[in-house]
Structure 1
Amino acid sequence: MTDTEAAGSAGTQLPPTEREFTVRQRTQTQLVLRRFLRHRAAMVSLVVFVLILLWAFIGPHLWHYSYQKYTPDNSQPPSGKHPFGTNASGYDAYAQVMRGTQTSLKIAILIALGSTFVGAIWGAVAGFYRGFVDSLMMRIADLVLTLPLFAIALVISSRSGGSWYWIAAVIAGLTWAYVARVVRATVLSLREKEFVEAAKALGASDARIIFRHLLPNALGPIIVNATVLVATGILTETALSFVGFGVQPPDTSLGLLVSQAQTAVDTRPWLFYIPGAFIIAIALTINFIGDGLRDAFDPRQQRVRQ
């Protein structure tokens, strides 16, 4: 190769700073996952939340004390034998906090699942049909939204005997309307898209369009609202248990543990602050996970540089 040819060949190569970035189209799932993984607060919160789940549901099977078992160590501060101390009756607080966390999480997750299931279908049907059907269904949802959540849950829970699944069902029955309104707004936008018109032209039934096309495309707002409902559920359950209308002994929950320890804040503070710290930790991690999911499902971000 001559010097002229070598110079020409070298001249065609652009420096790294001037090369064009390669942009590769990814699937929506890949985009969502990539953006979520890059959200540091959400990822840290997800790890913490998973560890709390494992600790609450697997820990009781590995711990040598039961939350219902008396010990001779009454009112002991945290130690190697009792990491969270004991109460005046000799119950191991570590075992009780594990059980309380498990019960509170079961209630919160059941609330989120029940509210999301009912609210998503209700909102999708209302948004798809519009007109009279939409008006009637959303007026019912508005009526549910006007009901005082805590007062109604308190009255009904007081008649349920303190069963955690009844408490979850009552709260879910009063919170589904929040999801319904969000899903309806999303479906009103989606129903005008070309893929819905194409499905109608091909003879797809209304049920198929709603469940096969509209709801999957509204999955982002649905998942984000489900995470918010987990935090809402655990805080509502905590409030009910704190005033004595939530979970009842011999079972326990984080709210009930805080309620039982409120008179011992000065003498045995570990009984009050430790379950309270778990309530705060769960609510915060769920909120950060919800923020990460909201950002990950942001439709304005369609392509990611390679």
Structure 2
Amino acid sequence: MTDTTQAAGAAGGELPHIGDEFTVKERTQTQLVLRRFVRHRAAMASLVIFVLIVLWAFIGPYLWHYSYQKFTPDNSQPPSAKHPFGTNSSGYDAYAQVMRGTQTSLKIAIMIAVGSTLVGAVWGAVAGFYRGVVDAVMMRISDLVLTLPLLAIALVISARSGGSWYWIAIVVAGLTWAYVSRVVRSTVLSLREKEFIEAARALGASDTRIIFRHLLPNALGPIIVNATILVATGILIETALSFLGFGVQPPDTSLGLLVSQAQTAVDTRPWLFYIPGAFIIAIALTINFIGDGLRDAFDPRQQRVRQ
């Protein structure tokens, strides 16, 4: 026993033996991504706020005692305990209408994000995997879609669809998938040269299996980030369409339609204009912060695997 060890023992301290092994639990890639995302304070706060808004919009109408479709005897009332968001000139409870409007806007935005992401991810993966003539043709089609004036075409088609929220979502998704395809294609172009793809080919895996079981799962990071961005984009596009009168039509409602209907009353009944407007801003901001957190979490430059 050395003098240093004897001194430490006499002082009541303990030193670890040289032969002791310290084991650190290995973390999977998913655990690493979740850990980095949780550490992103703005993204976590935004996620909590967004989840609360979603629960409020979809569960709240079943708990609230007024319906967005029914009149009340209180016309043009300011916010109060009875009507937290006030009422409009027809007696509709604004709290119930904002809940319904948020629900409709979220359904449109999420459907846009899901539809655009699915089509764009598969399109970009196939183009990036095959390259050559297939890639050139598919990407020229994507470029054509990108050059189309999204808002103008959405206005025309939405006007002919009668203002149904699902038609609005389908139209916008059909004009935004090309953005996702470009991102996924660039990711797949680098992934297809990796060793695990060569190993899959050597084992006799079909092209379909390689694309859907190897390439797309490994491109999941950029896909998820773009999906969150499309949710915010969908909210803003729906708002623009409804504000111009070509979006959701009464008796249904959306946040954009509520803002459009209240623009003439912004001086006399400002609560009808600013409250749904605040929800539009809140949803768009929270989604953008969540997207920032996911981008940072999936950033390969931050991936340090501990074993």
TM-score of Structure 1 vs Structure 2, range by shorter chain: over 0.9
- The answer to whether 1:40 aligns with 2:41 is yes
**Residue number in structure 1 paired with 2:57:** 56
- The structure-2 alpha-carbon separation of the partners of 1:5 and 1:264, relative to structure 1 and needing over 3 Å to count, comes to closer
- The answer to whether 1:229 aligns with 2:230 is yes
| Deviation at residue 8 of structure 1 after TM alignment | 8.8
**Residue number in structure 2 paired with 1:152:** 153
Provide the aligned C-alpha RMSD in A: 2.0
- The answer to whether 1:6 aligns with 2:12 is no
Letter in 2 for 1:254: L
Letter in 1 for 2:189: L
- The answer to whether 1:192 aligns with 2:213 is no
| Deviation at residue 26 of structure 1 after TM alignment | 1.9
Letter in 2 for 1:256: L
Provide the rounded CA distance (Å) in 1 between the counterparts of 2:76 and 2:264. Answer: 13
Provide the rounded CA distance (Å) in 2 between the counterparts of 1:274 and 1:292. Answer: 27
**Residue number in structure 1 paired with 2:127:** 126
The answer as to whether partners of 1:190 and 1:214 remain within 8 angstroms in 2 is yes
Letter in 2 for 1:228: I
3-state SS of paired residue (1:187): helix
- The structure-2 alpha-carbon separation of the partners of 1:244 and 1:22, relative to structure 1 and needing over 3 Å to count, comes to same
TM alignment of 1:78-117, pairs within 5 A? 78-117=79-118
The answer as to whether partners of 2:61 and 2:96 remain within 8 angstroms in 1 is yes
| Deviation at residue 302 of structure 1 after TM alignment | 2.3
| Deviation at residue 12 of structure 1 after TM alignment | 11
The answer as to whether partners of 2:108 and 2:168 remain within 8 angstroms in 1 is yes
The answer as to whether partners of 2:5 and 2:15 remain within 8 angstroms in 1 is no
- The structure-2 alpha-carbon separation of the partners of 1:151 and 1:2, relative to structure 1 and needing over 3 Å to count, comes to closer
Q: CA-to-partner distance for each residue in 1:226-283, whole Å, 9 max, x for gaps? A: 0000000000000000000000000000000000000000000000000000000000
* TM-score, structure 2 normalization: 0.94
3-state SS of paired residue (1:249): coil
**Residue number in structure 1 paired with 2:19:** none
- The structure-2 alpha-carbon separation of the partners of 1:7 and 1:99, relative to structure 1 and needing over 3 Å to count, comes to same
- Which sections of structure 2, spanning at least 5 residues, go unmatched? 17-21
Provide the rounded CA distance (Å) in 2 between the counterparts of 1:233 and 1:179. Answer: 14
**Residue number in structure 2 paired with 1:272:** 273
Letter in 2 for 1:140: I
Q: CA-to-partner distance for each residue in 1:165-196, whole Å, 9 max, x for gaps? A: 00000000000000000000000000000000
- The structure-2 alpha-carbon separation of the partners of 1:22 and 1:73, relative to structure 1 and needing over 3 Å to count, comes to same
Provide the rounded CA distance (Å) in 1 between the counterparts of 2:4 and 2:77. Answer: 88
- The structure-2 alpha-carbon separation of the partners of 1:2 and 1:43, relative to structure 1 and needing over 3 Å to count, comes to closer
Q: Which segment is superposed worse, 128-137 or 4-13?
A: 4-13
Letter in 2 for 1:156: I
Provide the rounded CA distance (Å) in 2 between the counterparts of 1:289 and 1:112. Answer: 14
**Residue number in structure 2 paired with 1:177:** 178
- The structure-2 alpha-carbon separation of the partners of 1:9 and 1:191, relative to structure 1 and needing over 3 Å to count, comes to farther
The answer as to whether partners of 1:120 and 1:180 remain within 8 angstroms in 2 is yes
Q: CA-to-partner distance for each residue in 1:95-144, whole Å, 9 max, x for gaps? A: 00000000000000000000000000000000000000000000000000
Provide the rounded CA distance (Å) in 1 between the counterparts of 2:30 and 2:171. Answer: 34
Q: How many residues get paired?
A: 300
| Deviation at residue 300 of structure 1 after TM alignment | 1.5
**Residue number in structure 2 paired with 1:247:** 248
- Which sections of structure 1, spanning at least 5 residues, go unmatched? 15-20
Provide the rounded CA distance (Å) in 1 between the counterparts of 2:201 and 2:14. Answer: 53
Provide the rounded CA distance (Å) in 1 between the counterparts of 2:210 and 2:138. Answer: 19
- The structure-2 alpha-carbon separation of the partners of 1:22 and 1:4, relative to structure 1 and needing over 3 Å to count, comes to closer
The answer as to whether partners of 1:240 and 1:246 remain within 8 angstroms in 2 is yes
- The structure-2 alpha-carbon separation of the partners of 1:6 and 1:103, relative to structure 1 and needing over 3 Å to count, comes to same
The answer as to whether partners of 2:188 and 2:215 remain within 8 angstroms in 1 is yes
| Deviation at residue 22 of structure 1 after TM alignment | 8.1
